[in-house]
Amino acid sequence: MFGDFVVEAVDHMAQNGVTVHFVAKPRYNNCTGFFCFPNFHVAAQREYWQEIFVHEYCHFLQHLDEQAGKPVKYPLMKDQSYVDWWDWLDGKIDLDARKVRRIRRGIQQMERDCDRRAIELIKKRGLELDLDHYIRRANVYHLFYCVAEKHRKWYRIPPYDMQELMEMVPNKLLRSFDKVSPEFEAIVLSHCL
């Protein structure tokens, strides 16, 4: 069943000018997957690659909505904000704290919207993925952005691969992710950065 979905999704992306790459590694470019038009990458040599495929496919769907002029809360894909976030993390540019916070919050909203879409897609298509696990991983990822902002570092080890962090978050998508507990931050600092 999941294989049928992958075939349909790859075809849908190809029809819209996207090149899909299944990378035979556990990570690619220091992440587990990404969509940046016209490229879609998934590190397929990892246990939960199917979840990542669905998540990145939903970023593609966000892109289609933006291209169609649909109103979105996260215009990050069309403006410079997402590029600025990565350039700031890499130390290539300096930004004032208010702008960094605004960008981080926008990215978190974009990611939450993506995960909301993914959850709906998983349910609608009856994809055999563990929703509890997916939602907890999503919450960890959303909260991680606060730690990345505070310490101006991206992860070496994905925080959503840390069982201790997964146990600290609920299995419902968080609506607010501005603050992380000291325990959450300590685990990220000691195991992920």
Q: What is the pLDDT along the chain (193 residues), one digit of tens a residue?
A: 899 999 999 999 999 999 999 999 999 988 899 998 999 999 999 999 999 999 999 999 999 998 898 877 666 556 788 889 999 999 999 999 999 999 999 999 999 999 999 999 999 999 999 999 999 999 999 999 999 999 999 999 999 999 999 999 999 999 999 999 999 999 999 999 9
- For 153-182, give one letter per residue: b (16+ CB within 10 A) or e: ebbeebbbbbeebbebbeeebbeebeebee
For 27, 54, 76, 158, 184, the CA distances from 33, given in Å and listed in that order, are: 7, 10, 18, 11, 23
Inter-residue contact 111 to 142 (CB < 8 Å): yes
